[in-house]
Amino acid sequence: MTTSTSDGSSFRSVPLVQAEGRLGQILQRVCREKGRVEIRDGEHACVLISKEELQSLEEALEILANTSDVRRITQTIAAITHTVAQGPLVATTTTCTCTTTRTN
């Protein structure tokens, strides 16, 4: 079975029983094609990717984590978290009873 990822690329999905007997082939294919193979066993699933692809993904995450925008977003989230931790954000209301006096 072939499955699509959010970026439009595709990868194979293989039941564990099939993967057990072909793990060497799957490993060679993943490394050669820089692809991904999902190995599933009922509810459980994992994805096999090449070490090179993993390193590329980790480098991309590191680059994204070091940008000023990400730092600003992180600081904003931290500030909001701190504010929320201080207590509920409930606006207090006051009731004002006003009297009007007429003069003629």
Express each pLDDT in 43-70 by its tens digit.
999 999 999 999 989 988 887 877 887 7
Contacts of 22 (CB under 8 A, 6+ apart): 14
pTM value is 0.52
Q: What is the mean pLDDT of the chain?
A: 79
- 4-10 contacts, C-beta under 8 A, 24 or more apart: 5/36, 9/36
Q: Which pLDDT score, from 0 to 100, does residue 84 have?
A: 81
Question: Is the pLDDT assigned to residue 4 strictly greater than 60?
Answer: no
Topology of domain 2-70, CATH = YefM-like fold (3.40.1620)
Q: Is the dihedral of CA 31, 32, 36, 37 positive or negative?
A: negative
The model's confidence at residue 89, banded by pLDDT at 50, 70 and 90, is low
Q: Which pLDDT score, from 0 to 100, does residue 93 have?
A: 58
Across 27-36, 58-67, 89-98, least confident range: 89-98
